[in-house]
Each structure stands twice: as structure tokens, then as C-alpha cells.
A = this chain, B = another copy of it.
């Protein structure tokens, strides 16, 4: 058996939990997954998870595994706790770090999923070698992980990086957080669906018979189906003008918000990560155009807007594993 140095990365999502045992150079040597809903009690969940990982762990000496890194929604690096996470089976305050430490008998670090993605990009992905960058995760909501001077910006209580909850429109869309006009109500999988529905309703109200009305999205909407983000993406790829307009509006709102963030943190690059970012040029072009158009002179043509350098599932495991090295 070779003497080696490894960490365990665990990415806990609302639906699935992915884990990997990862070498220092970023190779996932063992991996697996478990439905997060496996257990209603978080202690039972971590016991089941350990049971699944244990055969792989037993292939190594205990001192070869240097630590565990866990990424999970609404989870705080400083306190080690998950707090009121939406879409999770565990409610209220869950002491993730304490539970995992006692079950794995290893040092455990925890953080939220966007921060884990930022660590993953910095260690193994598109931000390798960068000291100042931002990862924007575009999933059901909009998360962000900010790295400055080569360090994750955690903030005073470990709650920095809530770019999705900056207000971009006074009296704008109602947000799940109880306020109005948050960026994530426009720029996220759910936000883009809201934009689609708004535009479709507006068209209906106009009651014209112009050619746009025969588009893919209109047909879907007429059938009273729920529109999903991936359908808007597919419609745009097939040239549907309304779907393209939806991406343009979404990118414009994101680009304007990013221009303001650049004035505050001046990153070398902004990395778009997650489902919506897979739309590629459909989203990147209007975002970059709006960002550049709204930047202060001295920042123009300086900030790269780039896609994630990692496969999504891999990225989250690698990010968590990299966090494990902080142990």
C-alpha cells in the first residue's frame, strides 16, 4: 500500500449527496452518492453516508486521510452549522461539522455550496493561479463565492457572498427571502422561468397573431405545461426569438449587477457555474455586453467572464475535498 495524502469531499444538495476521496493533485479515486432524503435525522444520514464511504476509507491508513470538507446550502464556515436551509430534510440549526467530526473521527471543515465551488475552481479549475475572482452559481437560486488576496471572503459571521440577494430592482419581483427585486428572482433557473411566463402573458394580452406566437415556448405554454429552464434553453438553441429575448434580458440584468460588483472587489475573472451557465453564448454574450457597458472606464476589457473549468458534479466534490485540506 502506497503512503499517500487524501481528503474526502462531500457535496450535500437538496436531492443528492455526492462524495469523493480525492488525491492532493485533484484525482477522484473513489466516488459515490446517496439521496439526501435517506434519513430525516442528520445523525442517521451521516451514519448511512459513513457506512457507504467506509469500505473505500479502509483501503488507506487512517493518517493518510487528512480531513473532510463538506459543502451544503446555508452552511457557515465559522460556526459549522447549517441554518434554516430550504429544500433540505433537516430543519432549523443543524451542527453539520460537529456531527460529521464525531462520526468520521476526522477533522471536518464545512461551508456553503458556492464557496465550495470557488475553492474547487481555485484549486483545480478555471481560477487556478488566480488570487481575485468570483464564482457565480446559477442553480435554483443564485449563489456566489468571492476570493480576494487568494482567500475566500467569508465576512464577519461567515455570511458574505449573498450576491443573489442584492436588490437590483426597487419594487421588483417578490423573493423567497421576503423582500423585493433580489437579483436571483431574475437570474437563476427559477428567475428565467418567471421572465418567460411574464413575457408570454404580455404577448397573450397583446392578442396579435405575429409570427413569434408560433414559437416553441408559446406552444408549450398553450398546452398549460410548466415551462422549465432547460426548455427555454432548447427553444433558444432552435432559434426561437422569444427564448433568445429571455436570455438577453437575463444576461443584461446579470451583467449590470456584475459591473457593480467589479467596482467593489475588482476581480480578475468572474466564473459562471451551474445549470443556467450551460447555455453558453446565449447567456455569456448579453451578460458580458451589459457588464462592459456599465463598467467604470478603468475596469473595461479587464475582467474575464468565463465558464467553470470543471464538470459540475466533479467540481463540487473537488471543491469540498480542497476545503478538507484546511483541516
Q: Name 18 A/B residue pairs within 8 A (Cβ), A-sorted.
A: A132-B155, A132-B160, A146-B265, A148-B151, A149-B154, A151-B151, A153-B153, A155-B265, A159-B299, A160-B265, A161-B266, A162-B264, A162-B296, A165-B296, A167-B256, A167-B260, A178-B297, A179-B294
| Nearest B residue (CB) for A182 | B296
Q: Pick the contact of A263 from B132, B163, B263, B294 — CB < 8 Å? A: B163
Q: Is A197 in contact with chain B by the CB < 8 A criterion?
A: no
Contact in complex: B162, A297 (CB < 8 Å): no
Known: A132-B156, A165-B296, A167-B256. 16 other contacts (CB 8 A): A148-B149, A148-B160, A149-B149, A155-B266, A155-B267, A156-B268, A159-B298, A159-B299, A160-B264, A162-B263, A163-B264, A166-B260, A166-B264, A167-B260, A167-B294, A177-B297
Which residue of B144, B155, B178, B179 contacts A148 across the interface (Cβ within 8 Å)? B155
Q: How many copies does the complex hold?
A: 2
Question: Does residue A222 face the partner (Cβ distance < 8 Å to B)?
Answer: no
Task: List residues of chain B with CB within 8 A of the CB of A296.
Answer: 162, 165, 177, 179
A157: Cβ under 8 A from any B Cβ? yes
CB distance from A46 to the nearest CB of B (A): 25
Contact residues of A: prevailing secondary structure: loop
A200 interfacial by beta-carbon distance below 8 Å: no
A149 to B147, CA, bound (A): 11
Contact with B along A261-295 (1 / 0, CB 8 A): 10111111000000000000000000000000010
A105 interface residue (CB < 8 Å to B): no
CA distance A163 to B131 in the complex (A): 21
In the complex, whether A63 has a CB less than 8 A from a CB of chain B is no
| B264/A264 in contact, CB under 8 A | yes
* Residues of chain B with a CB closer than 8 A to A179's CB: 294, 296
Complex Cα–Cα for A158 and B263 (A): 11
Asked if A102 is at the interface (CB within 8 A of a chain B CB), the reply is: no
Knowing A162-B296, A296-B162, A296-B165 touch, does A266 contact B149 (C-beta < 8 A)? no
| A259 adjacent to chain B (CB < 8 Å) | yes
Q: Assess whether A238 is interfacial by the CB under 8 Å rule.
A: no
From the candidates B146, B156, B158, B297, name the one contacting A264 in the complex (CB within 8 A): B146
Tell me, yes or no, whether A302 is within 8 Å of chain B by CB: yes
Q: Is the CB of A266 within 8 A of B156?
A: yes
Bound-state CA distance A297–B177 (Å) is 8
Q: Which residues of chain B have C-beta atoms less than 8 A from A132's C-beta?
A: 155-156, 160
Bound-complex Cα distance A149 to B150 (A): 11
